[in-house]
Amino acid sequence: MDLIQTPDNQFVDGTRRVPGTPVPAWWLNQLQGELFSILKAAGIEPDKADHSQVLSAIKTLAESASQVSSIDALRQYSGSGYVNVNGYYDTAPGIGGGLFVADKADKTTADNGGTVIVAADGMRWKRQSETVSAADFGILGDGSDETQKVQTALNVCAGERKPLGFTAGKNYGISQISIPQFSQLSAAGAVFKKLAASEQPCININSDVSVDVLAVNSPGSAADRGVRVLGSNVEIGKIELKSDAKGSNYGVHLQSSIGIPLKNIKIGAADITNYDAALMLFGVEGGRVDNIKIKCYRTGVYLRDVGNYDFNRAHLSEKSPNAEGAPGQNGLLVESIGGDYTTHDLTFANWLIEDAAEHGYRFGGQLGIRDVSFVACVSKMSGNHGGTSSGGCGFKVLGATSVARHRHKNFKLTACHVEDVNMTGGGIGNFAGYMFSVVDGVTMTGCTLGKKRNAQYSCWDAVSLESVTNISLNGNVMSDFQRQGIRVVSAVYDRFPGWDGLLDGLFVQGGSYQNSHNQNAPVVFFDTNAAPEATGAGTVKNVVFTGVNMRGGMAAIRTADAITYDNLYFDFDYDNGLSSGATPVIPGKGDAYYNARIPWIGYSPTAKNGSTIIDKLTGTVRVRRNNTWVTV
């Protein structure tokens, strides 16, 4: 029998524009002939009304076939026709046996120990089954080293395009195996046991592979590596990977070995335990990874040059004993390495990251990232390494600082939450709830910030902004921060041209910002940078606050004198519980229009003519005219 004569010997469906594979008469005739030969061998006359004749014929032939006890016995058998093998081994009847047929014409095919057995007289016996199990190759799954047998079974079944099954409840001992192209594996309930930790992954996965469940266990070590996906068009229902030793090297790694992007990789679930770099995707385009569960990590999920990918549902918890709170030790770390915006079009939904040693969600690097969406993503206890953590933002997006005009672009956060940022780490500016720096285009809608385990404050700054454009904050509720609800840093640096000091377009619609500290902490602060590397102040323009509620602190909005301002409008309600004081609640340069409900305390503040302030203490309405407040 010959295969259909197409480039890959497969039929394809047609579309309205492209015709499907034509079925020639010779192919149908040979198929008919093959089926008729089975009926003839069993002595059955064809009957078009009986659709079970081939099955009946096979059963008849099987019942009339010779019997041998094992595969070794088959190798010593002399004869032809059909042979029933009771079991692969004499000691295990019923396991690994099956029906074999002699192929008298085949004089060359090698004995592969499973689907082709070569007898002592040279006869090729071929297994009659569309699906194959590991037991058909004599694989016991008893935890002993069966690497070579497993690899042989994988190679044979991939070459014959047959599904290969591994038995639930069995432990398959391996050192390293490679799942070849065109493999179809069924392994739910089975475990691949890496017998010794090593720097080599115990399983490599090539292109065009499907696996229902891949469960791997390793003794683990600081150098140990788990599973590597090397090819495209891979679909895995679930990966379960566990190291017995906390602080093992990397878990699941998706990356080509020849420098080309991988495409179309889908993983339905990934459960990874005790690997410092748990899940890494480098140079991957188009696909998804869902239902991620990572326990005991240093860097949980690391994405580099990844595009058009969805990540739905994740829970990361427990930092590794190797965690130091150093840069990169994040729950989610994302970068572009291959070029500007090689990381793009990513969606994250329903994530919970706990215990990150540094930032919870971190987008960095010196090349651009664009079009990223978060929905219902949560960070808890970020920067969870005490005073040694270098940072601990819930969400941090930092574009290129070493070069100009390499901003990250288009970040959207919806219904996200940050809770209990570390308050003892070094550098308080790096411990915000949400930080965006060197970014063009951020929309935050319905996001929240609060504390549960922290004794006093949720974080230092709720929303921190520097060198950003086109920022929209809509209906967010930020509570219990120590310093600012919205902190804008407008400064320039000779050493860091990416920090250009420009904020252009900040639109804050509704929402609430509750400061828990009432000394020297305005809720909103447009500030410069007092650090020695800052060489000057920048520009802030096109800022609009509408219907914003602010509470706590010593002031509502403060604008540093050194900054250049253009087109600022603030509509808000503010109260700090004070009825008197030396400083007004809108101190600073005053290059802004105000429509505010505030307590009128301290010296008379400055503002643009046309501003209106309603004193919440007395109800007095004041309007700014000719650079003077007039009571109306």
pLDDT in tens, 349-388: 999 999 999 999 999 989 999 999 999 999 999 998 878 8
How do 502-509 and 539-551 pair as beta strands? parallel
Residue 63 has pLDDT above 70, yes or no: no
Q: What is the spatial distance between Cα 306 and Cα 332, in angstroms, rounded to a whole number?
A: 13
Give 343's strand partners.
Answer: 369
**Axis-axis angle for helices 25-41, 53-64 (nearest 10):** 50
DSSP letter assigned to residue 135: G
Percent of the chain at pLDDT > 70 equals 99
Kindly tell me the sign of the dihedral angle through the C-alpha atoms of 35, 41, 46, 52.
negative
The pLDDT score that the predictor gives to residue 404 is: 86
Domains, the chain: 1-6+29-45+53-64 (no CATH), 65-129 (no CATH), 141-322 (2.160.20.10)
Name the pTM for this structure. 0.89
Residue 409 has pLDDT above 70, yes or no: yes
DSSP letter assigned to residue 53: H
Write the secondary structure of 531-565 as one string of H (helix), E (strand) and C (coil). CCCCCEECEEEEEEEEEEEEECCCEEEEECCCCEE
Cα 550 from chain centroid?
A: 36
The pLDDT score that the predictor gives to residue 622 is: 97
How do 184-186 and 66-68 pair as beta strands? unpaired
**What confidence category does residue 62 fall into, taking pLDDT thresholds of 50, 70 and 90?**
low
CB-CB neighbours of 610 under 10 Å: 12
Q: What is the spatial distance between Cα 539 and Cα 562, in angstroms, rounded to a whole number?
A: 9
Residue 197 has pLDDT above 90, yes or no: yes
Q: What is the spatial distance between Cα 127 and Cα 64, in angstroms, rounded to a whole number?
A: 16
Single-letter residue type at 183: S
